Structure 1
Amino acid sequence: MGSRYVSESGFYMTSFAATIFIASLVTIGVLLVTSVVSLAVMLQSCENKSKGVVATIDKANDNHHYCEILALHGELNGLKPDNVPPLCRNLAVQYIETGGYTRDLDFVMRMIENFFDTVSPSKNQTDAVLIDIDNILVSDPSVQRVLESYTKLHSKGWLLILLSRKHENQRHVTIKHLNSIGFDGWSSLIMRSDLEMEMETREYFCRRRTEMTEQGNEIMSVISSQMDALMGLSLGIRLFKLPNPLYYNFENNHESRIHGLVQSEN
């Protein structure tokens, strides 16, 4: 006969049953330990993933702030798009394609419209608004919004003087481009001579503004997306800085359009 075990309560158990009972307890213990270990691993994995997401967000924010600082100093020092790191060029493209540029441009154009709702040109027609047309009139996201404000200024009787960094030999094709996108009624278009092409752009703009004031014009405002047109003497009453995705090379787009216009004339 097999061995029997009896407890104080009178419960009898064979050795075989006792073995199975103990084995079951061991199995349950192993399962509990395994579950605890698995749960700990899962929690650690979730924590690591969370840290990874936070690190990614922090990295993206760092890149954004870095490119913002670079943009500011790039504009102050005339940094060319070719000198900009690829990272910032990519962010600039995203800034345009996701609607950030259009949104910021609209904010500034509203500021311009609100300001000019509070002032009026004099009757002698010498009060001028200077508009830097480079960049803002060659990018599709900006043309229509700028045109809206331009039309309002023109209807109120302001003398609209357009500024460009381009050489005088591009005057005809530039005027054709302006007409094609609806910009008409301006007073004059200022472009650079051979001598002025050798100057720094900020010196060129300053020189031309000084000439305007000496000729009797009163500069009310200068509107530009670039800092070189907003520095120096004879800047008028109010300056407006339009958003400028420094790293997105509108110049290539502009040159291709100019080339297309020239080809169409031949």
Structure 2
Amino acid sequence: MNAELNNIRGFEVVPGECVGYIGAYMTSTQYEVDAQLAAEESFLFLTNNFQPTGDGKDAWIFDLDDVLLSTVPYFKMHHFGGTKTNRESLEAWMKEANAPAIEHLLTLFHLIRGRGLKVFILSSRAEYLREATVENLIAVGYHGWTDLILRSEEDKYTCAEEYKAKQRSKLVHQGFHLWGIVGSQWSSLGGYTTARRIFKLPNPMYYEY
């Protein structure tokens, strides 16, 4: 819980006594209910507040992993964060392009597109994973995004919060109006140049910084 509240930061592995709880939660109906509520609140905010600017540059940002696509199958093989993993192992799994969609976020994705907003997917995945990522997204039902922003070699060693804030700043300087961000990590939501509203999905399996 304190990891979710951003009180505990920078952990590399989930404490052994928490692994069972996290595994049970991430595979439970409660996780699905929590994801559904976050998606519903996101769309409710848009329904109640969105006024098109008329310039075609109203935008919404989604993070990718554990927002649009689930990494639960990978972390299930690694004790839900209780076993230390490395980037190479995770990226090898990502290259297989078999991550399932998080269904309530798939619905939200298309609802937001249907309201005429430009959808940007902003991820910490490396640029070389683009082909596999696009293949995976399309296979599970995503299409029509405006841009998929992945981490370049230039940003390889930049912390996630700074990298994502910089990419959002670029969008704002291009004239886009950021209405909302959905992320599963606090680093996806913090920093400068944020949106009118941010929405956090639960993700106690790892900490991205």
TM-score class normalised by the smaller sequence? 0.7 to 0.9
* Deviations, residues 143-175 of structure 1 (Å, cap 9, x unaligned): 211111111111110110001111111111100
Partner of 2:85: none
The 1-side partners of 2:147 and 2:25 are apart by: 33
1:247 aligns with 2:205: yes
1:179 aligns with 2:138: yes
* Deviations, residues 78-112 of structure 1 (Å, cap 9, x unaligned): 433xx211221210111123311111111111101
The 2-side partners of 1:98 and 1:130 are apart by: 27
Partner of 1:93: 23
Q: 1:223 to 1:98 in 2, by over 3 A?
A: closer
1:218 aligns with 2:188: no
Partner of 1:79: 11
Q: 1:172 to 1:142 in 2, by over 3 A?
A: closer
Q: Tell me the secondary structure at the aligned position of residue 93 of structure 1.
A: helix
Higher Rg: 1
Contact 1:136 1:225 in 2 (8 A): yes
Please point out which of 165, 168, 175 is paired with 2:127.
168
Aligned residues: 178
The 2-side partners of 1:112 and 1:237 are apart by: 11
Partner of 1:136: 67
1:125 aligns with 2:56: yes
Q: 1:97 to 1:185 in 2, by over 3 A?
A: same
Contact 1:161 1:187 in 2 (8 A): yes
Q: 1:210 to 1:248 in 2, by over 3 A?
A: closer
1:154 aligns with 2:154: no
The code of the aligned residue for 1:134 comes to D
Q: Name the TM-score, length of structure 1 as normaliser.
A: 0.63
TM alignment of 1:179-198, pairs within 5 A: 179-198=138-157
Q: Tell me the secondary structure at the aligned position of residue 11 of structure 2.
A: coil
The 2-side partners of 1:93 and 1:248 are apart by: 12
Q: Tell me the secondary structure at the aligned position of residue 199 of structure 1.
A: coil
The code of the aligned residue for 1:131 comes to F
Q: Name the TM-score, length of structure 2 as normaliser.
A: 0.79
Q: Tell me the secondary structure at the aligned position of residue 62 of structure 2.
A: strand
The code of the aligned residue for 1:107 comes to L
The code of the aligned residue for 1:86 comes to G
Structure 1 runs, 4 residues or longer, greater than 4 Å off? none
CA deviation after TM superposition for structure 1 residue 121, in Å: 2.9
Partner of 1:201: 160
Contact 1:202 1:232 in 2 (8 A): yes
The code of the aligned residue for 1:247 comes to M
* Deviations, residues 175-221 of structure 1 (Å, cap 9, x unaligned): 01010011101000000111211110101001111111111111111
Q: 1:94 to 1:191 in 2, by over 3 A?
A: same
Unaligned runs of 5+ in 2: 73-99
Q: Of the two structures, which has the highest relative contact order with CA contacts closer than 8 Å and spacing of 6 or more? A: 2
Contact 1:102 1:142 in 2 (8 A): no
CA root-mean-square deviation:
2.0
The 2-side partners of 1:70 and 1:190 are apart by: 27
The code of the aligned residue for 1:240 comes to F
Identity %: 27
The 2-side partners of 1:206 and 1:135 are apart by: 19
Q: Tell me the secondary structure at the aligned position of residue 72 of structure 1.
A: coil
CA deviation after TM superposition for structure 1 residue 77, in Å: 3.0
Q: Give the structure with the larger helix fraction.
A: 1
